[in-house]
Amino acid sequence: MFALPNALTILRIVLVPVFAIAFVTPGDLARIIAFVVFAIAGLSDWLDGFAARKLNAGSEFGRMLDPIADKVLVAVALMMLVAEGDIRQFVLTGGLRSLLRLVPALIILAREILVSGLREFLAGTRVSVPVTTIAKFKTAVQMVAIGAMILTPLAEKFLPAELSLTYAFIAYLLLWIAAALTVYTGVIYFKNGMAHIDTRPDAARERA
């Protein structure tokens, strides 16, 4: 349970409330701390997989906890970004920025729920759906996009207007690319999972 890969996964979960507290704390320093904590948590996702392979320290505990830690980190970060004064702005003024954050966030979270449910079902049939290269790329783009959006207020404050707009555009674009990849990989997971589902009328009774 306390092998290095598992310790990194547990660290990622522990860092989530630290990130949330730093995110809602006023001030530029707090926002930088929130970004650093998120970056460390995101890096630990890669490190625990690397350590598990290099040290041959994979475990059932790690396979169970790792995707949970990933989803908690991403879900909390997305919810914090959406809730950062933008929901109220969206309700009152129809703010475009709120919509540009809210839609991809909902897409990403909906996909994570779908894949989690599919994996839970397939676990009962002792079938696993492997993580694809595209899914790994999606995760990387997603983490970079969220990290960039965490720093957007600082970019707007310290960068010249044109550079600030360019920075914000790239951050939002990356988030939408991550959402598109999320839909694509979600469809692949669902199709692969459906191949292992027995649709015969008596199949459910047999499993029961």
User: What residue segments make up the domains of the chain, in order of their start?
Assistant: 4-195
Q: How confident is the model at residue 204 (pLDDT cuts 50, 70, 90)?
A: very low
pLDDT at 109: 82
85 pLDDT higher than 70: no
pLDDT in tens, 88-128: 444 444 456 666 777 788 888 887 777 776 666 666 555 55
Compute the distance between CA of residue 47 and CA of residue 54 in angstroms, rounded to an integer: 10
Q: Are 9 and 69 in contact (CB under 8 A)?
A: yes
Compute the distance between CA of residue 160 and CA of residue 157 in angstroms, rounded to an integer: 8
Instruction: Tell me how far the alpha carbon of residue 54 is from its chain's centroid.
Output: 24
Give the CATH H-level superfamily of domain 4-195.
CDP-alcohol phosphotransferase transmembrane (TM) domain (1.20.120.1760)
- The model carries a pTM of 0.77
Compute the distance between CA of residue 138 and CA of residue 179 in angstroms, rounded to an integer: 8
pLDDT at 18: 94
pLDDT at 186: 81
205 pLDDT higher than 50: no
pLDDT in tens, 1-51: 557 777 888 888 899 999 999 998 999 999 999 999 999 998 887 787 776
pLDDT in tens, 122-181: 665 555 555 678 878 888 899 999 999 999 889 988 999 889 889 988 988 998 998 999
191 pLDDT higher than 90: no
Instruction: Report the run of H or E that residue 156 belongs to, with start and end.
Output: helix 152-158
Compute the distance between CA of residue 46 and CA of residue 9 in angstroms, rounded to an integer: 10
pLDDT at 122: 64
Neighbours of 28 (CB within 10 A): 11
Instruction: Tell me how far the alpha carbon of residue 52 is from its chain's centroid.
Output: 21
pLDDT at 90: 45
Instruction: Report the run of H or E that residue 5 belongs to, with start and end.
Output: helix 4-24
pLDDT in tens, 53-75: 666 665 666 666 777 888 888 88
202 pLDDT higher than 60: no
Residue 60 CB-density burial (10 A; 0-12 exposed, 13-18 middle, 19+ buried): exposed
